[in-house]
Chains A and B, each alone.
Chain A
Amino acid sequence: MAQHQVNYTQDGGLPVALTTIDKVVNWGRSNSIWALTYGLACCGIEMMASGASRYDFDRYGTIFRASPRQSELMIVAGTLTKKHAEFIKRLYDQMPEPRWVISMGSCANTGGMFNTYATVQGVDRVIPVDLYLPGCAPRPETLQYGVMLLQKKIRASKAGKAQKPKRLM
């Protein structure tokens, strides 16, 4: 059997990269954000468009999952009504930690143009939100930029620690 002798000091260096656990974990987390399909209204269509042919979300490692248990990002795309509020909380509670929430569009941010009896005036009354995307409806580019900002936020966080409880309103 042939014995291979590799001189690590000369042949391209050690096959080892030195880094911190934080960086490795966050590198993995930030580049495989699986999003829960939470299309509620019009913004949900733009969310689908960002996942479809032209805007192609898979490039970011963002894949839409239909189950809260497999996803770590909830993109609340659309108007949250009072009747639905209960369910968004249920689904949010089912997501494993660490988890993030993007509130997409004016309706999800503040109730938007629907200043009525039936609309929750911002999803942050029910679940904590990490990122607010303005627009009615935001373009797919906005959502992509939002996901990139979220990646940045993830990379800046400590990987090992449990997430701090996020502030609700």
Chain B
Amino acid sequence: MRKYTPKKDVQAKSYYTDRFWVAPQVAKSPVESDATFSEDLAAIKEKFEVLDAYIQVDQMVVYINAKDNFDVIKLAKEDLAYTQMSELSAIDWLADKGQFEIFYQMLSMTKRKRIRIKCFIDEQEPILSVEKLFRSADWSEREMYDMYGVIVNGHPFMKRILMPDDWSGHPLRKTYPLIGDEAAAWYEVDKIFGKEARDVIGPEIRDTARIDRYDTERFSRLGHEVPHGAAIPEGEPKTPLAYQEDGGVFLIKKFHEDDSVIITDRDR
């Protein structure tokens, strides 16, 4: 029987987990333990619904509704002095919840604080662009679309950024395998030589430990080169490595291996 592998998440999995193992948690502290953060949270809570908020590793995490994302970030930027958006991306929870988690990592230089604003959206649900507030979101949102297929509304130039325009699939989704799908495997061959060249060029060699004993021309067989296709069931003949060609170079004396001296006496 073939081993069952879940199709919704094809990433590497731990092959053994103890039955009684319980994952520990990174400590979360309440927002009230920090004066600056509790003020910020109060300001956000005044106008918007906050689903959850806590402090983890010195940074405040605020969960909001996805529809409020633009307004909350506007508030954070203009009233709460979070003047830089360091990072913005998505996390793929499609296998578990059918949702993406979007996080906005923000920095206030005057308060020296960082907060992370998070929200959940469904797979096909668009999210409003924050490019009007932070130009840095321009490229981040394009990357998010490229890598996850999250649709961003109100973005001036919604195109793929890292992958080519004619790429299929969104690489960072958990359903996308690390070494790519069929289209990815033949992408460059199809584009340059056409589909009919697939047979000539052959599939990609993804086995990192593979050594083709009969192909000494291409890789890592210095000193054992044989013509391509030659039969070597009895072992390859050794080709002595010479640093100079026969006949020699003008003014340069050829070094013969027979002239070499092996020094055995260490004190010589």
Contact = CB atoms under 8 A, between A and B. Distances in A.
Interface string B181-221: 10010011101100000001110111010000000001110
Nearest to A83: B164
Contacts of B220: 132, 134
B192 A168 contact: no
A167 B189 CA distance: 15
Contact of A117 (B184, B218, B219, B245): B184
Contacts of B192: 85-86, 89, 126
Contact of B163 (A118, A122, A125, A169): A118
Interface residues on B, range: 20 to 34
Given A116-B180, A168-B201, A121 B206 contact: yes
A87 to B, nearest CB: 10
A110 interface: yes
A109 interface: yes
Interface in A50-86: 82-83, 85-86
A136 to B, nearest CB: 13
Interface string A117-138: 1101110111001001010000
Contact of A86 (B180, B191, B219): B191
Interface stretch (B32-40, B50-58, B101-109, B171-179): B171-179
A120 B207 CA distance: 14
Contact of B178 (A117, A122, A169): A117
Contacts of B205: 110, 121-122
B228 interface: yes
Interface residues of A, number: 28
B208 A120 contact: no
A156 interface: yes
A167 B202 CA distance: 13
A152 interface: yes
A115 interface: yes
B164 A125 contact: no
Nearest to A168: B201
A152 B178 CA distance: 41
B206 to A, nearest CB: 6
A72 to B, nearest CB: 19
Closest 10 CB pairs of A and B: A117-B180, A85-B188, A121-B204, A117-B184, A83-B164, A82-B187, A89-B192, A82-B188, A169-B201, A155-B245
Interface of A: 82-83, 85-86, 89, 109-111, 115-118, 120-122, 124-126, 129, 132, 134, 148, 152, 155-156, 167-169
